[in-house]
Chains A and B, each alone.
Chain A
């Protein structure tokens, strides 16, 4: 008699929101525990290891990771809607960052930032309508090659318009530092982390709570079914490209103060972001964000504490980690295993 009662207790439906919160807290706790464990190992192997220095690396890793996460999320947005990896995503971000740089010669930071996002949105949507639309019905590989063409074109174009010289890019955050529980953290890192995560949360809220967001998720799920319900799929795809371009612009403007602005600003960032998206599971927005953060922290710790990696081998090291994860979990951390009948 006791059995049904006990079963009923576990049967309580907590609702998807609460489940997401529980999952989030669980992830956070396990991430901190894992980082603590890595730190403990390092106390044994590294001479001159300090916990304060270690956590400082973690925080600046998170800031870098947030930039990867933004661009990775942009990649995932477009991939989910159209099954296409947009190789031009990084160059689109660089191009909009150049626009921001030009605007900042005429106005202060935040107005230029906001105006850049608007331009990025319109530009991203226009790219979809004008360049992607004509090849939309072709095999995915054709569209991918068009995006590679776009990468090269935008790279050349930004060098031609703004010349390839490296430029300094403003940051709205002061270069000072603050101390939290003995860990020195730069305002720059905190600001980058905050802006990127705020963008991601805003985007999530848009998709979760608005009708337009719902329609866009439906289009990503099934274009045919959406059209039968009266959805203008073409415009929804353009909207998706616009939002992806906004994410890219945020990533570009956050990366530029430390990486400096030149036409190749986002090339390496794009590779890390691809890695982050695949690590998280290429069809999972949550995965892209988590994957970006993990990758950022990982390369920072590896670069700092593993001597032979240093600064130069960070990218290869990240890709090795990626390969190991994919060997164990081919669909990525949060991705869906694709099951097809053959």
Chain B
């Protein structure tokens, strides 16, 4: 199992490979491999999605995937 934290200033839904998978700023478990991360709700963040190869993580050192609010959002 691999571990990922999707960072965003507020609590938002997280989608992994187009499926709902928990919330931002929580440690999520995923299987190893390349995944597409995005946020649910309004598209007022950037980038629109991140494609990341997830491997060699641990619960103490999860991979961080960062999103930020769009300017003016």
The yes or no verdict on A and B being binding partners is no
A interface with B by C-beta (< 8 Å): none
